């Protein structure tokens, strides 16, 4: 009989611990949405067109802003690459700078991309004879 009582107590304690453990889960840091799938699709060169992806990402960014949630790392950079491929270099620069501001650890890569964009948009140096 005492073994039965202690087994019941143990089962009750395990049940309570399970319920308490599941009751409070921390909120995610970022609003990921469909971003991971979009990254995967672009790598496979399948899925939605770049314009449709940009539109979907803009919708996700608006939802995150409305919910006061942060966009995940790489979101702005990915959107910037899509914008650049669509011929919107200025918008890409803005997004790369925003990624750098949101995630300072991305600065070396974003600076490299921004430098390449700057070198593309500046006219070639023309030498004048002396």
List the chain domain ranges.
35-120
The model carries a pTM of 0.71
Residue 19, Cα to own-chain centre: how many angstroms?
32
**What is the third-level CATH fold of 35-120?**
1.25.40
Instruction: List pLDDT tens digits, range 79-126.
Output: 999 999 899 999 999 999 999 999 999 999 999 999 998 887 665 554
Instruction: List pLDDT tens digits, range 22-42.
Output: 666 787 888 888 888 888 887
Whole-angstrom CA distances from 51 to 55, 89, 98, 99, 102 are 6, 15, 20, 20, 24
């Amino acid at each position: 009989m005492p073994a039965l009582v202690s087994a019941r107590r143990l089962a009750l304690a395990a049940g309570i611990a399970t319920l308490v453990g599941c009751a409070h889960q921390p909120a995610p840091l970022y609003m990921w949405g469909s971003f991971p799938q979009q990254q995967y699709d672009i790598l496979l060169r399948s899925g939605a067109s770049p314009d449709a992806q940009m539109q979907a990402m803009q919708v996700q960014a608006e939802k995150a802003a409305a919910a006061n949630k942060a966009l995940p790392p790489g979101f702005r950079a990915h959107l910037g690459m899509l914008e650049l491929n669509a011929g919107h270099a200025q918008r890409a620069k803005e997004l790369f700078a925003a990624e750098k501001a949101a995630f300072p650890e991305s600065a070396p890569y974003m600076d490299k991309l921004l430098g390449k964009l700057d070198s593309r948009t500046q006219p070639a140096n023309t030498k004048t004879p002396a």
